[in-house]
Structure 1
Amino acid sequence: MSDAVATPVPAAANAAPPTAPYDLREGLAFAAVSVLLGITQGLGVNLVNVNLTGVQGALGVTTTEASWLTTAYYATNISASLLLTKVRYQYGLRRFADIVIPLYLLLAVAHLFTQHLGSALLVRAALGLAAAPISSLAVLYMVQAFPPGPKVFVGAVLAFAALQLGAPLSRVISEDLLQIGQWQGLNVIDAALAILCVAAINVVRIKPMPTQQMFAKGDGLVFALYATSLALMCVVLTQGRLHWWSDTPWLGLCLAGSVLCFGLYVAIELPREKPLLDLRWLVSPFMLRFLGATLLFRIILSEQTTGAVGLMNTLGFTNDQMHPLFLWITAGTVGGFLLALLALPSQRFGVLGDIALVLIIVAAWMDSQSTVLTRPHDLYVSQTLLATASAMFLASALLQGFSNVIAGGMKNIVSFVAVFSGGQALAGLIGQAWLSTLLQDRQRLHYERLLEHMQLSDPLVVQRLAQLGGAYASTLNDTAARSQQALALLAQQVTQQSYVLAYNDLFRTVALVSTLGFLVFAGAKTHRWHRARRVAQADASMAPAASS
C-alpha cells in the first residue's frame, strides 16, 4: 500500500476556495480518472505477485528466485511514500503528476523488454518507487470529484475502494494474460493502463495546491537510513519462510542491519528541529493504539491470500477456476466501503473496526471446517465477509487517523502518511510471513502424526493401496509397478490431508487472535469510558463547591 491514505485532508484543507459552482460533469470526470489510477496501481503491484509461478517459467528461474521480484518492489515502495509526499507538497501537485505518471509509463514499457531476472529486479524496484504516488493521485482526484466540505471524506473512502479492486481483479484476468504473452502479457496491461493514465491526467487536470518548504538539512542521511532499514526488513520478511529463518545466516545479517539502521535513524532524527517524521507524536497514546490495531488487522487479514487462496491452490485449483470467488471478494470489498459511509454522519468510526473483527472471527471459523472436498464455492460466504471486514477496517482507520490529524492542526500529516502507508504494507508482509511459517510448521506436524498411524500391515492401509493400485490395472500389468504407483498416490493424499489440517489450524489461529483483539479493544474502550465518567463526576462535584 502506498501513500494514498493520508492525502485527502490536505487537499481539502489547503486548496483554495472554489470560485465557480460545483460542476457535476467535471466531478464525474475526476471520479473516472481516480478509478483508472486506482486500478492501475492495484494491478501494477498484484499482477506479478499473484502469478510468480507463471513468471518463473517465463524467466527460467526457481520459485525462490522469482520471489525476489516481490521483495524488490516492496523494498522501494514502502519507504517511497515519505519522500514523495514531501516532494509533492514542495513542488506542487500538477508538476508532481506530470512527472510521476510518465515515469511509471516508461518503467512499465521497460518491463516489456526484461528477459532475465537481474533486469526484471531492477525494473521492478524502480516501478515500486514510481508506483507509490499513483494511489495518492487517485485519492486526490476522487476528493476533487466532490464539492468542498464533509463530502470529501466520502471521496476518500470511495478512492480507497478503487485502490483495493486491483488485488482480486488481478487474479481474474491474469490467466488470459499469461496465455497471451507469458511474462510480457502481464506487463502489457501495465503499459496500456499507464498510457491511459498519462492521457487522463492531461485531459482532466487536477486542481493546484499551495506549495510549502518541506525539506531540511540532513534529510538525505536520515532518509537513507530509514529506507535501508525498511528495505532490509522487507528482504527478511519475504525471504525468511523460503530460505527458512534459522537456516540462513545472511537473513540474520539483514535483520541486524535493519535494526542498526533504524536505531541510527532514530538517534539522529530525535534531536532535529525539522525531522522527517515526528517520532514523539508517533508514540502518543492515540497513535500507539492506532498502530497496534493496524498491525493486528493487517496480520489477520493475510488469511485471505495466505489461507483461503493457498488452500485452494493446494487442492489443485488455479486462478481461472476461482473467478467467481474473486468476483465475490470484489463485491464484498466494494460493499464494505459503502457500509463504512454509513458511519460518517455519526463519526463513530471505531464501531467499524469492532464490526470488522466480528466478521473476521466468523469468516475464519467457517473456513476452519475445510476438508479435502472443499471447493471454491464453499468459500463464497466466508471470503465475502472477510473482504467486507477488510474494507470496513481500512475505511475506519482512514477516517479515525484523519480526524486526529485534523484535530492537531494538520502539522503531522506527512508523518501520518508515511507511517500509515508503510505500516500497512509492512504489516501485510509480517502477516504473510507469520501465517506461512505457522502453516509449514503445522503441516510437518500433521504429516508426521498421520504417518505414525499408517502401517503397511494395517488392513485398512492394505485395502486403500489395493484401491489406488486398481486404478492402474488397465495400463500397468506389472504388480510391483502398480504397488509403487499406489504408494506414491497414498503419499500424495497424506501430504494433501496434512496441508488441509494445517490450513484449518491457521484459520483457527486467526479466529483466536481476532477474538483476543476484540476483547482487548473492548476492555480498553470500557476503561476509557469509566475514566471519562469519573472525571465528569469529579468535575460535577467540584462545581457546587466552587460556586459556594
Structure 2
Amino acid sequence: MRLPECDPYAPREWQPHEKPALLGSPSTPEHSTPKRIAYGVVGLLVCLTGALGNAVVTANLQNLQGTFGAWSTEIAWLPAVYVMTNISINLLLVKFRQQYGLRAFTEGFLVLYVLVTFFHLFVNDLSSALMVRAAHGMVAAALSSLGIYYQIQAWPAKHRLKALTIGITGSSLAIPLARLFSTELLQLDEWRGLYFFELGLALISLACVIALKLPPGDRRKVFEKKDFITFFLMAPGMALLCAVLSLGRLDWWFEAPWIGWSLALSLVLIVAAIVFEHNRTNPLLNTRWLSSGSIVRLGLIMLLIRIVLAEQNTGVIGWLQYVGLQNEQMTHLAWSIFAGIVCGIVTSCLTIKPTKLAWPIITSLALMIVASLLDSQSNNLTRPDQLMLSQFLLGFGSAFFLAPAMLAAIGGGIADPR
C-alpha cells in the first residue's frame, strides 16, 4: 500500500502569533524559558562560528604570510577570496531557503561548513589555501542569517527588536576575540591550530542545531531559470569588485593592470545584471526596492561609517603591526574593543525603538568623531594602552549604530510582531 505523498509546498495553517514574518523564515511558536535561553545561546554560537573563520585569518595574516612564504600582496588574497564568494553566494541563499526549507538550509550548510573546515587541515601551500578559503566563504554565508533566526526564537514578540539587534551585531565580536586567543592556537601547530579550533566550533554548532531545530516555515517554488543568468552576471561582477577593493590598496594600478581591467569588467557585469533584472516579475534582485530612498540612504550610511570604522582595524591595528607589535602585545587593546562592542550591543538592546532609529546613528557618529580626534594625537611613540579609550568608543559606536541603521531601512516588517 502506497501512502499519499505530502506536498511540502502546501500552505500551512498558522496561529496569529506563529505566522512567519517572511517566506523562508521560521514560524514563531511559544517556547518555555529554558528553551528560549537555549535558542539564544545557539544563535550566538552559530553567528560567531561563521564570523570567526574569517576573523582568525584576518587577525593573523602576518603569521600566515611567514608560514606560506608569501608576499604581502599574495597573502592578502586569503581574506579577499573569502569575501568574493561570500557576497556572491548570498544572491541565491534567500530563494534556496524559501524553496528547500529551513532544515536543508541549516543542517546542509553547517555540514558543508564542517567539511570545508576539515579540508583546511590538509592545505599545504597558498594555492590550495585560496581554494579552500573560497569554498569557506560560500558555506559561511548562511550562518549569519541562521544566527538571526535562532535569536528571534529566543525572544517573545514584543522584544523582537532586541533579537534582531543581537543577531545583526553578534558577529562583530569575532575580530577582537580572534586577536585575544589566536596567537596561542598558532603555537599549537602553526596555522593548523587555527583550523582545529574552527573545526571544533563548527562541530559544536552542528550538534546544537541538530539537537535544537528551528520551527518549520512556509515553502514555495521560487527558483526560475533566469535567476541563474542573473547569478552568473552578478556573482563574478561582485567578486571582481571585491578583489579590486581588497588588493587595490596594495598593488599599484600601473604595476598591476589587472586591477583596472577587473574594475571595468565588474561594472559591465553588474550593470548587465541590473538591467536584466529590472523588468522581471519575480526577480532575484528587486531593483526597484534597492533603488528606493530608504535603501539608498542605508547604503550611504553604511559606506561612510564603514570608512570611519576602517580606522580601527586598518588604521590603528595595522599601524601598530607595521611598527612591529604582535597580537599578544595588543591584548589590552583587544579587550577594550571587545568591551566596547558588548556595551554597544547591550545599550542598543535596551534603548532601541522602532520610532526612534535615527538618534543611535547620530550618537554613534559623535562617539566616532571623539575617538578619531583622540587618535589624531598619536605618534611613533604611541602604544596600545594609550589607545584603549578611543578604541572602546569606536567599538561601542560600531555596535550601537549597526542594528538601527539596518532596521531603519529593511526591518520594519520583521520587527513589527503583528
TM-score of the two chains, using structure 1 as the length reference: 0.70
Instruction: Extract unaligned runs of 5+ from structure 1.
Output: 1-8, 411-548
**Alpha-carbon distance in structure 2 between the residues aligned to 1:247 and 1:294:** 31
Which residue type is aligned with residue 370 of structure 2?
V
Which residue type is aligned with residue 265 of structure 2?
G
Which residue type is aligned with residue 334 of structure 2?
F
Q: Which residue of 2 aligns with 1:289?
A: 297
Instruction: State the shift of 1:31 in Å.
Output: 1.1
Instruction: State the shift of 1:278 in Å.
Output: 1.1
Q: Counterparts of 1:9-88 in structure 2 under 5 Å?
A: 12=21, 15-16=26-27, 18=29, 21-88=30-97
**Alpha-carbon distance in structure 2 between the residues aligned to 1:319 and 1:338:** 26
Q: Which residue of 1 aligns with 2:250?
A: 242
SS of the aligned residue for 1:165 comes to helix
Instruction: State the shift of 1:92 in Å.
Output: 0.8
Q: Counterparts of 1:214-229 in structure 2 under 5 Å?
A: 214-229=222-237
Instruction: State the shift of 1:344 in Å.
Output: 2.9
Picking from 176, 179, 185, the partner of 1:177 is 185
Which residue type is aligned with residue 57 of structure 1?
G
Q: Counterparts of 1:319-358 in structure 2 under 5 Å?
A: 319-345=327-353, 347-358=355-366
Cα deviation 1:316-364 (Å, max 9, x = unaligned): 3211011111111111101111111233346301101000110010000
C-alpha change, 1:56 and 1:343, in structure 2 (3 Å) is same
**Alpha-carbon distance in structure 1 between the residues aligned to 2:28 and 2:184:** 47
Instruction: State the shift of 1:404 in Å.
Output: 4.4
Q: Which residue of 1 aligns with 2:7?
A: none
Instruction: State the shift of 1:403 in Å.
Output: 3.9
Q: Counterparts of 1:403-418 in structure 2 under 5 Å?
A: 403-405=411-413
Which residue type is aligned with residue 307 of structure 2?
I
Instruction: Extract unaligned runs of 5+ from structure 2.
Output: 1-17
Picking from 268, 271, 286, the partner of 1:263 is 271
Instruction: State the shift of 1:162 in Å.
Output: 2.5
On the 8 A contact 1:37/1:138 being kept in 2, the answer is yes
Cα deviation 1:180-231 (Å, max 9, x = unaligned): 1111111111111111111111111111111123212311111111101000
C-alpha RMSD over aligned residues = 2.1
C-alpha change, 1:375 and 1:11, in structure 2 (3 Å) is farther
Instruction: State the shift of 1:407 in Å.
Output: 9.9
**Alpha-carbon distance in structure 2 between the residues aligned to 1:35 and 1:226:** 31
Instruction: State the shift of 1:102 in Å.
Output: 0.6
On the 8 A contact 2:27/2:215 being kept in 1, the answer is no
Q: Which residue of 1 aligns with 2:134?
A: 125
**Alpha-carbon distance in structure 2 between the residues aligned to 1:397 and 1:173:** 31
Q: Which residue of 1 aligns with 2:310?
A: 302
Percent identical = 38
TM-score of the two chains, using structure 2 as the length reference: 0.91
On the 8 A contact 2:28/2:215 being kept in 1, the answer is no
C-alpha change, 1:283 and 1:133, in structure 2 (3 Å) is same
**Alpha-carbon distance in structure 2 between the residues aligned to 1:402 and 1:337:** 19
Q: Counterparts of 1:527-546 in structure 2 under 5 Å?
A: none
Which residue type is aligned with residue 275 of structure 2?
A
Instruction: State the shift of 1:10 in Å.
Output: 9.1
Which residue type is aligned with residue 125 of structure 1?
A
**Alpha-carbon distance in structure 2 between the residues aligned to 1:278 and 1:10:** 24
Which residue type is aligned with residue 267 of structure 1?
V
Instruction: State the shift of 1:314 in Å.
Output: 2.8
**Alpha-carbon distance in structure 1 between the residues aligned to 2:253 and 2:361:** 33
**Number of equivalenced pairs:** 399
On the 8 A contact 2:298/2:406 being kept in 1, the answer is no
C-alpha change, 1:128 and 1:407, in structure 2 (3 Å) is closer
Picking from 324, 333, 339, the partner of 1:316 is 324
Instruction: State the shift of 1:405 in Å.
Output: 4.9
Instruction: State the shift of 1:16 in Å.
Output: 4.3
C-alpha change, 1:367 and 1:29, in structure 2 (3 Å) is same
Q: Which residue of 2 aligns with 1:448?
A: none
Computing the radius of gyration over CA atoms, which structure comes out larger, 1 or 2? Answer: 1
C-alpha change, 1:162 and 1:173, in structure 2 (3 Å) is same
**Over 2 Å off, 4+ runs:** 9-18, 159-162, 341-347, 401-408
Which residue type is aligned with residue 51 of structure 1?
N
Which residue type is aligned with residue 41 of structure 2?
A
C-alpha change, 1:393 and 1:401, in structure 2 (3 Å) is same
**Alpha-carbon distance in structure 2 between the residues aligned to 1:122 and 1:189:** 20
Which residue type is aligned with residue 130 of structure 2?
L
* Structure ranking higher in helix proportion: 1
